[in-house]
Each structure stands twice: as C-alpha cells, then as structure tokens.
C-alpha cells in the first residue's frame, strides 16, 4: 500500500524526473555467465519522450560517480550533438546525484559541483566490533574505484578495488563508505545499527547485509533539492521513482514519489503510488502517464 494514493492536482505534469538506477531504470541480464547492464527499449523511449517534452531528467543513485556516467551513456543523455558540433551545450548537460546525495555533478564532461564529506571512522569501528569480518570500502574518485580492506564479491562495486588497511580507508573525510558482511543479513545490520545509534552519520541498509554511510542529513532528497535550487524547480513539481531503502527520503520529498512494483513494503508505503516492476518496465508505465507514448 502507498502512503496516500492521492492524485496530483489537475493539470500537474512533472518539471523534473528523478530516476534511481539499479532496480528502477536498469535491468540486469545474464550473458555468457557475466551480468551486464541494459536499459530496455520502452524505458529508454519513455525517458526521451519526457526529456523532449521539456522535463529535466536527473539520475539519483547510491552509485559512485564513475558508476553512473556509463548509465548516462546508455541513455544517450544528453543527446549527442551534430557531426559538426558533437559536444552538448554546457547548459544541456545532465545533472547527476551520486553516492546517495553526497556528490552532485554535471555530465559530460564530469564536473563535480557539490560534495559533502564526513568522518566515517567512529561508525565503521563500531560496526566492525559487531561484524569483525565485514568488508569495508570508501570511494576514491582519483582511482575511478574504491579503497577496500578486502575484495568485494564480483559485480558489487564498480571500478578498481585497491586493498588498503581500514585505518587508512577511514583516516580522512570521505563522502561515502560501504560496509558489507556476506555472512550476515540485512536484518542483522538493521538490528546492529539500531543498537549502536551511530550518531553523526546517516546510513542505509540495502537488500542484503550492505550498509551505506553518508554525512548526517545527506540523502538523495537533499541532493535533488540542490539540483532543484539550481534549476528553479519546486519539489512539488518533481516525479521521483525508486525501489530501495535509500529512496525513502526522495519518495517522501518529491511532489509525486513512485515505488517500483518489486520494492519492499517499507518503500511502497513511503510512496504516493506503485508502478510495475523493473522487469515490466515500471518506469515507462509511469512516464507514459504524463508524457504519452509514440
């Protein structure tokens, strides 16, 4: 059940569309025993119809910046220029909210316009006392990857992984830290976080025993507010679509928050409406309501 089921005011149409990536925009396909990313054609077409109608398209994800530019490329956003002038206009570049709101950048080329950092050391040490074998990773943009205490399972992190002691990983301010324990469950992490309190930082627990740490008060919603301020868009005119716990603030903040059909009940309850699943092109189903179809 969604939070209200309330319909937008007559004549309402999104001025900005904020899209989560994994489980929302992106479908995973197995090919040659290696998962690869694909955007289904109905979703691609619906996103471009929204853009052609004048809506701002913003990608909003827990992914690091280097893991999001490839998705923008798959979407062909912004549109490639003419053969005579292949570079998109600077004002037409895509806005991207990365790292659960900690990093905001324009693309292409990648230009960070806002970043939040924090001291993750106390929270990470507290978690490791309860999960001593957990994996720890921090974004390192200069690498296009992560500093990690041990390698993460294949496919879980985008980019290079550089083995680094935990003390060095959290020895300086960071914008995002991931703690992952393959031997635990999401419920284990939720219980641990509730017991510890983890003051001075915000966290999100994913589908598995995966915990994302961010600066206090930072979320996809705060990142999108920064974008809206820059574009002069009121949050009431934002359509946000997502499927995970890290979308909760975004769905509640947006004028219309829509949960994907496969989202857990906690996420569905935070949304105004629930669309079809990612495998049934839920993003296209929702966008087609506002921007029609060919």
Unique residue bearing structure tokens 């960070």: 112
The average pLDDT across 178-195 equals: 85
- Residue with the bigger pLDDT between 53 and 78: it is 53
pLDDT at 287 over 80: yes
Asked whether the beta carbons of 261 and 276 are under 8 A apart, the reply is yes
pLDDT for 85 equals: 44
Q: Are residues 21 and 110 in the same domain?
A: yes
> Does residue 267 lie within any of the structural domains?
yes
Please enumerate in sequence order all residues whose Cβ is within 8 A of that of 208, keeping only pairs 6 or more positions apart, or say none.
Answer: 180, 182, 185, 186
What is the CB neighbour count within 10 angstroms for residue 150? 14
Q: What percent of the chain has pLDDT over 90?
A: 68
In the block, tokens 């992106």 appear at: 26
pLDDT band at 29 (very low <50, low <70, confident <90, very high): low
- Mean pLDDT, the chain, integer: 89
Lowest-pLDDT range of 67-71, 84-88, 117-121, 263-267: 84-88
Percent of the chain with pLDDT over 70: 88
What is the pLDDT confidence band of residue 3, given thresholds at 50, 70 and 90? low
Q: What is the DSSP string of 131-185?
A: -TT-EEEEEETTTTEEEESSPPPTTSS-SEEEE--HHHHTSS-BS-EEEE-TTS-
Residues 109 and 225 in one domain: yes
pLDDT band, residue 203 (cuts 50/70/90) = confident
Integer Cα distance of 238 and 254 in angstroms: 5
Q: For residue 50, what pLDDT is reported?
A: 98
Position 4 pLDDT exceeds 60:
no
Within this chain, do residues 102 and 177 fall inside the same structural domain, yes or no?
Answer: no
Q: Which of 213, 243, 263 is the last residue of a domain?
A: 213
Quick one: 106 and 248 in the same domain? yes
Tokens encoding 31 = 């090919």
- Look at residue 50 and give its three-state secondary structure: helix
Domain that holds residue 141: 120-213
SS3 243: coil
The region of weakest confidence among 143-152, 155-164, 192-201 is: 192-201
Asked if residue 2 has pLDDT above 90, the reply is no
pLDDT level of residue 83 (50, 70, 90 thresholds): very low
Please give the backbone phi and psi of residue 191, each rounded to the nearest 5 degrees, phi first: -65, -45
Token pair 């054609």 is at which residue? 41
Q: Are residues 200 and 237 in the same domain?
A: no
Give the number of other Cβ atoms within 10 Å of residue 78's Cβ. Answer: 19
Asked if residue 74 belongs to a domain, the reply is: yes
- pLDDT (0 to 100) of residue 79: 63
The span from the CA of 46 to the CA of 205, in Å, is 30
Q: What is the pLDDT of residue 135?
A: 97
pLDDT in tens, 214-256: 899 999 999 999 999 999 999 999 999 999 999 999 999 999 9
Higher pLDDT, 108 or 203: 108
111 and 124, same structural domain?
no
CATH code assigned at 203: 3.30.1240
Decide: 214 and 102 in contact? Cβ < 8 Å.
Answer: yes
Q: Is residue 36 scored above 80 in pLDDT?
A: no
The string of DSSP letters for 54-88 reads TPEEEEE-SS-GGGTHHHHHHHT-SPP--SS--SP
Q: Do 95 and 235 share a domain, yes or no? A: yes
Indicate the number of domains in the chain. Answer: 2
pLDDT of residue 134: 95
Are 46 and 174 in the same domain?
Answer: no
Counts of helices then strands in the chain (DSSP H, E): 9, 16
Question: Does the reported pTM lie above 0.75?
Answer: yes
* Pairing mode of beta strands 256-259, 56-60: unpaired
Q: What is the mean pLDDT of residues 82-106?
A: 78
Q: Which residues pair with 27 in a beta bridge?
A: 38
Domain end point (choices 190, 213, 236): 213
């Amino acid at each position: 059940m969604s939070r209200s089921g309330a319909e937008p005011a007559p004549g309402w149409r999104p001025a900005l569309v904020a899209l989560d990536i994994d489980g929302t925009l992106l479908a995973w396909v197995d090919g040659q025993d290696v998962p690869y990313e694909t955007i289904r054609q109905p979703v691609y077409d619906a996103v471009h119809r929204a853009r052609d109608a004048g809506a701002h398209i913003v990608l909003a994800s827990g992914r690091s910046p280097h893991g999001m530019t490839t998705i923008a490329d798959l979407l062909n956003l912004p549109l490639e220029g003419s053969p005579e002038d292949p570079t998109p206009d600077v004002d037409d570049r895509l806005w991207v909210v990365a790292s659960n709101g900690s990093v905001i950048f324009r693309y292409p080329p990648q230009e960070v316009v806002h970043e939040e950092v924090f001291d993750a050391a106390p929270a990470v040490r507290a978690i490791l006392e309860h999960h001593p074998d957990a994996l720890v990773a921090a974004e390192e943009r200069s690498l296009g990857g992560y500093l990690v205490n041990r390698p993460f399972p294949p496919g879980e992190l985008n980019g290079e992984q550089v083995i680094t002691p935990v003390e060095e990983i959290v020895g300086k301010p960071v914008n995002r830290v991931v703690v992952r324990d393959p031997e635990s469950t999401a419920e284990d992490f939720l219980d641990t976080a509730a017991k510890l309190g983890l003051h001075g930082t915000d966290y999100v627990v994913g589908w598995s025993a995966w915990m994302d740490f961010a600066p206090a008060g930072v979320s996809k919603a705060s990142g999108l507010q920064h974008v809206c301020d820059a574009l002069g868009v009121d949050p009431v005119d934002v359509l946000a679509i997502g499927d995970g716990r890290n979308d909760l603030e975004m769905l509640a903040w947006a004028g219309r928050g829509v949960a994907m059909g496969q989202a857990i009940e906690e996420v569905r309850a935070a949304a105004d409406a629930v669309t079809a699943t990612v495998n049934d092109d839920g993003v296209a189903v929702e966008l087609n309501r506002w921007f029609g179809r060919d």
